[in-house]
């Protein structure tokens, strides 16, 4: 089904469900295409916020079944693997005098984000329609996608923190 009306004039809900994620992806790619100063002391903030929001969601959701817990564990593990890979694909530079670290996400890392969005949409449509066959609720599937995001963000930031701290330590040791 096309997201546009047959006349091509109106934007219905289907259109926005495609356009908003594409706009977000475009902004993420644009933002990550430039080198940015990495604030090492602030790398914990995004994972903390995402984890707190996830805990709030889980506190209001019914407990998952055994299969749901297994899917959640798989989602966190897959997210951690993807986050580690994306973190490793980022390029860091350090100013030897000021010890300021700059980061730039590689094109492979940006493709990973596009792949995660595509995978999410494919799996959401497939799993959403087959949830009862898989003995999962829609909430359990949604929670798994949330845990995938927690795994990606947390592991990526941890990898960045480890690499940045190592680079800063080496730069300080060389400066002495």
Per-residue pLDDT at 165: 94
Kindly report the length of the chain: 176
Residues of the chain with pLDDT under 70: 1-18, 32, 120, 124-134, 138
Q: Give the three-state DSSP class for 12.
A: coil
**CA 40/CA 42 separation, integer angstroms:** 5
Whole-number pLDDT of residue 169: 92
Q: What is the mean pLDDT of the chain?
A: 82
* Nearest alpha carbon to residue 151 among 68, 96, 73, 59: 73
């Amino acid at each position: 089904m096309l997201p546009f009306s047959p006349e091509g004039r109106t934007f219905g809900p289907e259109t926005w469900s495609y356009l908003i994620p594409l706009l977000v992806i475009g902004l993420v790619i644009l933002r990550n295409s430039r080198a940015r100063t990495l604030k090492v002391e602030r790398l914990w903030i995004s994972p903390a916020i995402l984890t707190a929001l996830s805990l709030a969601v889980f506190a209001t959701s019914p407990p998952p079944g055994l299969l749901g817990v297994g899917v959640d564990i798989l989602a966190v593990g897959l997210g951690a693997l993807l986050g580690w890979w994306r973190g490793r694909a980022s390029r860091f530079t350090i100013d030897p005098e000021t010890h300021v670290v700059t980061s730039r996400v590689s094109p492979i890392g940006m493709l990973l984000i596009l792949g995660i969005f595509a995978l999410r949409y494919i799996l959401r449509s497939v799993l959403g329609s087959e949830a009862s066959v898989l003995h999962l609720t829609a909430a359990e599937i949604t929670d798994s996608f949330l845990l995938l995001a927690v795994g990606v963000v947390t592991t990526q930031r941890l990898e960045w923190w480890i690499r940045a701290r190592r680079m800063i330590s080496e730069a300080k040791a060389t400066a002495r």
